[in-house]
A and B are shown apart, each in its own frame.
Chain A
Amino acid sequence: MQKRLAFHLDMNACTGCKTCMIACIDKNDLADGVLYRRVSEYTGGDWIRNADGTYEQNVFSYYLSISCNHCENPICVRSCPTTAMYKDENGIVSVNPEKCVGCRYCEWGCPYSAPQFNAELGIMTKCDFCRDYLDLGKPPACVAACPTRALTFGPYQELLDKYGQAQLVAPLPDTAITQPNLLFTPSRKAQPAGSRNGKISNPEEV
């Protein structure tokens, strides 16, 4: 298996369709309330009504499909008191269900909400990059599902060489925190990281 795999999201191709989410739910039989991959809608802008009743606006919106980024410096691993959360030799971050006590410290630490608490099992669960598929030479379920091919994956360095290191977009956290293996091509309307122009407008869905 290749080491240090990363996801790449082309925001100009992502329509927010959420096929990645359903493919993930189906593959992993995710329980209610558990989402290994989430599509956030980040929206902002204002409307101004002119004197003649017409409108001006500067509305923008874009979708961010985010799962675990299998970070180089995974805060979830650092914050796990039982060593259940671990990064394997290929760089994939997973939970050992035998060791996890469900304390949820990893969930609090992760700025991407990647570790997800399964209430029925009482432990944390998360994206494992479809390790079983990778072993079979198949792409992860979410990547194979993407109708517009906005979501791709590959070795971090290959993706970096192909797409470059784009400026971070809102509302993603500073990459220095965890060094995520996530690259993206920003959309036309993407706002710079730290911008307060918009907000996540579908909180109930993620």
Chain B
Amino acid sequence: MPSNETSAAVQAGNGIRRRSLLKWGAALGGVAALTGGGLFFGLKPVNGSPGKKEELFWTACTVNCGSRCVLRAHVIDGVITRIETDDTGVDVYGQHQDRACLRGRAMRHRIYAPDRLKYPMKRVGKRGEGKFERISWDQALDEIAARLKKTIETHGNESVYINYATGCTGSVMSDSYAPASTWLGRLMNCLGGYLNHYGTYSTAQIARALPFTFGGSSVNGNSFADIVNSKLVVLFGNNPAATRMSGGGQIYDIVKSREKGNARFIVIDPRYTDTAVSLADEWIPIRPGTDAALVNGLAYVMIGEDLVDHDFLTRCTVGYDEDSMPEGVPEGNSYKSYILGQGADKTPKTPAWAAAITGIPERRIVQLAREIAGAKPCYVVQGWGPQRQASGEQISRAICMLPILTGNVGVQGGNNGARESGVSSTFARYPTLTNPVKTSISVFTWTDAIERGPEMTATADGVQGRDRLVAPIKFIWNYAGNCLVNQHSDANRTARILGDEAKCETIVVIENFMTPSAKFADILLPATTCAEEDDFADGAYTAAMSYLIFARKAIEPLFESRSIYDVCAGVAKRMGVEQAYTEGRSRDDWVRWVYGETRKKYPELPEKVEDAFAMGIWKKERAGLPAVPYKDFREDPETNPLKTPSGKVEIFSKQLWDIAETWTLPEGDRISGLPEYNPTWEGVSDPLREKYPLQLIGHHYKQRTHSTYGNVDWLKRVAPQELWINPADAEARGIKHADMVKVYNDRGTVLIPAKVTTRIMPGVLSLPQGAWFAPDKDGVDHGGCVNVLTSLRPSPLAKGNPQHTNLVQVVKA
């Protein structure tokens, strides 16, 4: 096929090659398929076609909302004609149906989306331009192997990076995250290893910070099921109606618990979220990035009015007052000293002080402190929005101060302030071998590692496993992910970094669609979707029951798409490690191996995997009351110490104090022993607000899971991409609802329609994250991608992505 034709077709975005059309088109009556108007391969409704035999297959949605949903594909002549979801059983809560959300239900138009990748391709234009020519699988795999070999020989294994990619994170057999649990990871481990990363784009700051307070490697909260035992529920930036939408999972859990219990619900968020709409008694709007200031004001009232739980603070914590400080720290550094203005900053954190920062009236802060302290038990929980900030580590620790001060840690119906946890059942995993490379960078700093890898150090850039990187990133694997540009920050700068072929020499993308990231591939490979192969998925993010999903291949792989297992096997063969990679097993052999190992954990599963596939989903009701993390510790902290240096909850962390002493931080960044409020760059008090007066966040939106499903027409129809703006800010700029507006800062410009709504606070805009970057020739984005406006500057401790810390201006376009 001539390359220019392919390029044009691909660029057009709906470039189905009609001549080479597909067997299912013919099956549908070729003429109809060929004249179908271009969209969806001309796929016409075939429901109820006489004489056509319909088959049903259980499959799954395995994207990164964290929940997993079983889908049922109706298939006629090899074509999916309808998607249903779990309708099994009696739907009693606890053994309820795992009902997919709108996205899973739109799977048919995702699988058959017009920008579906069809063949292996090789870049022919400039990197990022999106021009490709079709090549054979053999050529693609040969070139990848040759480039990988050369990169390893020239720059070493630490120059090879597997990028963060969660498009298939719910899948077992085609898992895309974390690298160490994927086939790509296994392949690279057979070849001497790869540069690791730590943290995630979802949780970088909180995951790094909370262990300093509570110890251990991860910190979990009580589950939503425990809300039935609570008197008051306070959600900080936690919006399960958008982030955990599965009807088998947490949105249903919280709705049911709200209904069964008697708790009052308060939502603290810059937006009146869908969770607040359905569940909240009260919405307290707050300026982005100021949650720690609110906590300080609340703590001031609690301390001043003696509403704190002295018993818990004395028995279970360090750093509350000067009597419980670790050695080697000067006086005046306790939490109480900080709050009362007896510390270094000499600033009492009064409700009036907090009001000026947060935008919440002083009177309301005083009342809220009394409410939280008076409700026994009180369930304070944070989502991951508050921590995705320039000082997100501190914010996440600060929110936990409310349950710590009021003694709500480790009690039924309470919570420690961390995000809710749940119950789970999990499949066995195939072995991925061991990575000989121990070096690791923060998930957010890979563009830095491309630009100046060996300059990056442990104490300035958070490099782990080495004092300094030994090589820049020269080779990137990107499978089922859109973090190459779309979901990473500062899309324009990232595109420039990736566009320099002298820096990162090879980018291999394995994908379903022509995503903004796929356009940056040197070699672009078409991958199967879940419906095109046998797979498994762990139920996750549920509170009342766990489940396992058995997803059966419903249709043949479209065009020339291949499973990630086979892609890696093809590279392994060419690199001389085929036997080490496959152990002589085909993908199907591994499916059976995984099932066999899983049955050892759950002997009640059917003996044959075929019977499991026919069953689709297996559920297990939670036994007993919801688990209470830290209960044993709270009851007897001496016998059951935490894994912190003191064994107690560390309100003041000496470890962080020491890090602050030894690390090199850029001007304005701050790490502190206490969970303090830190004003930050592009925060509420940045003088840059004179030029860019509005704070911009990017909330999770029902149209997409991050960027996944961002190309599906049905979803765009029912939930279009829009910029949220308060009527006060809109009127001041002559903007009316549905007007096209231009949002911009020094990093870029986005054109998008405005949603003028009282559901967002004045001074704050929100552009839902995940929309696909679509720059025009002048670099103006027409897709509504928030990361055109976000910054590559990492947070101080986690070196994580502060994607809700942005200042912008907006004008009518």
Q: Give A residues with C-beta under 8 Å from B.
A: 11-19, 21-23, 25-27, 29, 32, 35, 39, 43-47, 49-50, 52-57, 59, 61-63, 138, 141, 144-150, 187-189, 201-205
Contact = CB atoms under 8 A, between A and B. Distances in A.
A62 B247 CA distance: 19
Contact of A54 (B100, B106, B360): B360
B101 interface: yes
Interface in B28-48: 45, 47
Interface in B406-444: none
Interface residues of B, number: 60
A46 B85 CA distance: 40
Contacts of B47: 29
A53 B85 CA distance: 49
B105 A22 contact: yes
A25 B45 CA distance: 12
20 contacts: A12-B279, A15-B255, A16-B277, A21-B102, A22-B105, A22-B715, A22-B718, A46-B758, A49-B728, A52-B362, A54-B358, A55-B762, A61-B272, A62-B278, A63-B274, A63-B278, A138-B87, A149-B91, A150-B255, A205-B720
A205 B275 contact: no
A141 B275 CA distance: 24
B101 A26 contact: no
Interface string B257-268: 011000000000
Contact of A19 (B102, B274, B281): B102
Given A15-B274, A15-B278, A22 B714 contact: yes
Nearest to B717: A32
A25 B714 contact: yes
A201 B614 CA distance: 44
Contacts of A35: 718
Contact of A55 (B100, B285, B720, B759): B285
A47 B102 contact: no
B102 A17 contact: yes
A149 B45 contact: no
B110 to A, nearest CB: 11
A61 B759 contact: yes
Interface of B: 45, 47, 82-85, 87, 91, 99-102, 105-106, 108, 241, 245-247, 251-252, 255, 258-259, 272, 274-275, 277-281, 283, 285, 352, 355-356, 358-362, 702, 714-715, 717-720, 726-728, 737-738, 755, 757-759, 761-762
B627 to A, nearest CB: 24
A147 B245 contact: yes
A14 B247 contact: no
Given A18-B719, A26-B83, A43-B759, A13 B278 contact: yes
A146 B757 contact: no
Contacts of B83: 26
Given A26-B105, A47-B762, A61 B277 contact: yes
Contacts of B82: 26-27
Contact of A53 (B359, B717, B737, B759): B359
Nearest to A54: B361
Given A19-B100, A19-B102, A52-B362, A57 B758 contact: yes
Given A25-B717, A53-B359, A55-B359, 5 more contacts: A22-B714, A59-B758, A141-B84, A149-B247, A205-B719
Contacts of A189: 277
A49 B272 contact: no
Contacts of A14: 278
A146 B99 contact: yes
B45 A18 contact: no
Given A19-B105, A43-B758, A148-B252, A52 B241 contact: no
A56 B361 CA distance: 7
Given A59-B283, A59-B758, A148-B247, A47 B726 contact: yes
A108 B95 CA distance: 45
A54 B355 contact: yes
Contacts of B45: 29
B356 A52 contact: yes
Nearest to B352: A52
Contacts of A13: 255, 259, 278
A206 to B, nearest CB: 9
Contacts of A204: 720, 738
Contacts of A149: 91, 247, 252, 255
B102 A188 contact: no
B246 A147 contact: yes
Contacts of B361: 50, 52, 54-56
Nearest to A199: B737
Nearest to B703: A18
B758 A15 contact: no
A44 to B, nearest CB: 7
B642 to A, nearest CB: 36
Given A13-B255, A205-B720, A49 B762 contact: yes
